[in-house]
Amino acid sequence: GAGVSQSPRYKVAKRGQDVALRCDPISGHVSLFWYQQALGQGPEFLTYFQNEAQLDKSGLPSDRFFAERPEGSVSTLKIQRTQQEDSAVYLCASSFGSGRDTGELFFGEGSRLTVL
Amino acid sequence: AQKITQTQPGMFVQEKEAVTLDCTYDTSDQSYGLFWYKQPSSGEMIFLIYQGSYDEQNATEGRYSLNFQKARKSANLVISASQLGDSAMYFCAMTVNTGGFKTIFGAGTRLFVKA
């Protein structure tokens, strides 16, 4: 497809389970971002990749959160030992530019995680 | 600290009228980008408009315009001739330099357009 694709769209996990969320950005986009969005709130930055390099992971809430983009294309956000407070929509965004010229972000539809 | 502030949790506007959504920002960078995004109830985030910090003219995109006042650090979105389909959450965002560059978002304003 032409847009950013995320899977799964919906995920229900029992507390303590590990989950993996996938993001397939627009082909050729250099920058890739992960955001966490709680209901009725703005997206909160989690981490940023420029190609395969993770340049900023300052927004990851704890060491249970891990993200990778090994070949500079598809990215996976992994959450270990999920907790109820991890319940949110996880948004992936990509852009053609990078750094100061990151420009417009193209977002996926998000992965809604519910931890029971 | 780099921060985006949107002080209007909710706004109402009559169809066909104009509405202004407020946004103020805080950054020590001299060069930065300001954005507005729309998020309908379906959830997808849609880019609306961009303003560079060195752009002297206010950005416009169709019915959207950005009222950029650099000295006041404000970047308000003006929607003219509101339509029912404009009902959505609106987020102001800024690209900031924190060692790397990232885009941060405000808390959003929910706009309700009345028929």
Residue A109 has pLDDT above 80, yes or no: yes
Q: Residue A71 — very low, low, confident or very high, per pLDDT cuts 50/70/90?
A: very high
> Is A8 in a helix, a strand, or coil?
coil
CB contact under 8 A, B50 and A104: yes
- Residues of chain A in contact with residue B97, where contact means CB-CB under 8 angstroms, are 100
Residue range A38-44: mean pLDDT, rounded: 93
Confidence of residue B102 (pLDDT cuts 50, 70, 90): confident
Coil vs helix vs strand at A108: coil
Quickly tell me which residue has 């309908």 as its tokens: B40
A99 pLDDT higher than 80:
no
Q: Which of B94, A19, B85 is nearest to A8 (CA)?
A: A19
Per-residue pLDDT tens digits for B10-65? 999 999 999 999 999 999 888 889 999 999 998 889 999 999 999 889 999 999 99
Of B35, B37, B98, the CB nearest to A58: B98
Distance from CA of B31 to the nearest CA of A (A): 8
Structure tokens belonging to residue B114: 């009345």
Nearest C-alpha neighbor of B6 from the set B66, B65, B76 = B76
d(CA A56, CA A50): 9
Mean pLDDT, residues A38-67 taken together: 94
B40 in contact with A, Cβ within 8 Å: no
Q: How far, in Å, CA of B53 to CA of A25, rounded? A: 27
Q: How many H helices and E strands in chain B?
A: 0, 12
B104 has a chain A CB within 8 A of its CB: yes
CA A92, CA B14: separation in Å to the nearest integer? 34
d(CA B68, CA B45): 22
Per-residue pLDDT band at A112 (split at 50, 70, 90): very high
Q: How many CB pairs under 8 A join A and B?
A: 67
Q: What does B4-42 look like in DSSP terms, one character per residue?
A: EE---SEEEEETTS-EEE--EEE---SS-EEEEEEE-TT
- Under 8 Å between Cβ of A37 and B106: no
Q: Please compute the mean of the pLDDT values over residues A36-55 and round it to a whole number.
A: 94
Residue B24 confidence (pLDDT): 98
Q: Which residues of B touch A107 (CB under 8 A)?
A: 44-46
